[in-house]
Structure 1
């Protein structure tokens, strides 16, 4: 039997010729300056550009961060998404975008931990760097925490999505807004009431956005844990990463004993937030991923204590 393998090997042009084949051309003459001091700075052009701009900057900046927590793990590294902005007056053409990421890298190199105090300093320094009257920084990241099964005590990691937004204005000072989205279990009260045997349940997502008082001390109170507890303690049941059969029995029975509509969730969570003296205003939303519908169920409550 003839086992000789016949191949037709291609002869390819070299890499430079291949690039030329797909449109590359030789470099042309260089006439513009290469030194930064000699380059035109269009963003710093001063003219009447008709309108002030509320916010200009960059978003969706992915970067590793360090976070501390009152729950285990006490210190953790995670990935955050940043947004940086500042306002500009109508006599300025634009802002220097590179200064945002330049400062982020400098802070990261100096062992930057994400918290309210560090973000306050960051935005104040950013205002000076941009030579503007204000700056805003928003950071969103997954915060991880340990959760034990109610019977087995077997431990795993859950996470909640956290956002911190800090605005600094030379005249009015700081404005701090924090947000947390926690995942819960809800059991339908209507289903429990009308069904002979059971009730349907679903996964709910509770988002709490709160404005904190100016003298709030995060070294005494971990607001992440407080908001997480506000969501979970008012749910039908908590979410667990590890459940053995005795755990599952306790969790499902607890849900059956605590049925909740989305309307119930937002009102109960709002009551907890209202009682916190360091919360000035808040918005609570709940979105249930309905298990017997294709649609979600939603509800929200907004309250400002300053208007009382």
Structure 2
């Protein structure tokens, strides 16, 4: 008799006996109501609970979403990571957490496409579901776009990390900010200047957070593509998923012809963002993963166009 046959002949206790062996006990008496309308609702208690709460909600909620894009692929399905919240006045004990995910499931069943107009509707409706005068929603997702080699024209998929945040207030309406973080190539101007030949280069990470104007129309403008272009067009060179040798020659020579410090990147990107009419305020950060140092090089710049009128 082989080992397999011996294992098959082993006599085990029943599943119920096994559960009891590992600590399960029989149910105790049931004395509390099972109908929702008869259950105590502690979260809806009304007393003086000492302080208002700025925000309470849930975070790190992963859910499938659809992303519209002006770049190929124009419709893509990905995973969004959500955060939801609202304020609570001191006269209320808490919020009903299940209403956040109920709202998410409702929109998912209707084909949840993550665009600015839809997210505004979601946030405002969420405030009504919570019976509050405000609500906030943030969703983070990878956004994919096709990138072709500059010589071979061979295509592959790149991606950038995108975030949309909508803060709704009954008195003031919506405040929408978007963030895009993409990767670029940077070549060190100092290395190029002092070296007899060559220059060190590295991967740069450009993150842009933008406050959108109230009249922004995503049907006309893809903010993701616009912010990506602001970062990539000011880099030493773009990042490519597929590079044949003629492509690599073109990319490395382009980088050598366009050396950039992190300081240069944030100023050049800021100039492009300043010229975008749908941008009300912005911040830009560039972080270079230095190839000849153990540290990163970092620069940050912020600007608010509204201050010009003050």
Deviations for 1:19-41, whole angstroms, at most 9, x for unmatched residues? 11111111000000000000111
Distance 2:105 2:281 in 1: 33
Deviations for 1:211-236, whole angstroms, at most 9, x for unmatched residues? 01111111111111100000000000
SS in 2 for 1:80: strand
Deviations for 1:287-307, whole angstroms, at most 9, x for unmatched residues? 111111221111100111111
SS in 2 for 1:285: strand
Distance 2:32 2:298 in 1: 57
Distance 1:300 1:5 in 2: 69
Q: Which deviates more from structure 2 when the two are superposed, residues 105-114 or residues 145-154?
A: 105-114
* 2:100 equivalent in structure 1: 100
Distance 2:194 2:21 in 1: 72
The two structures have a TM-score, normalised by structure 1, of 0.97
Distance 1:107 1:280 in 2: 29
2:240 matches 1:240:
yes
The two structures have a TM-score, normalised by structure 2, of 0.96
* 1:269 equivalent in structure 2: 269
* 2:56 equivalent in structure 1: 56
Q: Which runs of 5+ in 2 are unaligned?
A: none
1:5 deviates by 4.7
Distance 1:40 1:206 in 2: 50
Q: Which runs of 5+ in 1 are unaligned?
A: none
1:261 deviates by 0.8
Provide the aligned length of Structure 1 versus Structure 2: 305
Distance 2:12 2:106 in 1: 47
The RMSD of aligned alpha carbons is: 1.2
Distance 1:5 1:163 in 2: 59
Deviations for 1:224-265, whole angstroms, at most 9, x for unmatched residues? 110000000000000001000000000000001111111111
Distance 1:118 1:8 in 2: 61
Alignment of 1:265-304 (within 5 A): 265-304=265-304
Distance 1:21 1:111 in 2: 47
Distance 1:17 1:64 in 2: 40
SS in 1 for 2:270: helix
Distance 1:87 1:184 in 2: 39
2:45 matches 1:40:
no
Distance 1:5 1:157, change over 3 A: closer
SS in 2 for 1:203: strand
2:244 matches 1:256:
no
Deviations for 1:119-173, whole angstroms, at most 9, x for unmatched residues? 0100110010000010001011011111100000001111111100011111111
SS in 1 for 2:64: strand
* 2:187 equivalent in structure 1: 187
Deviations for 1:4-55, whole angstroms, at most 9, x for unmatched residues? 6578655432221121111111100000000000011111001111111111
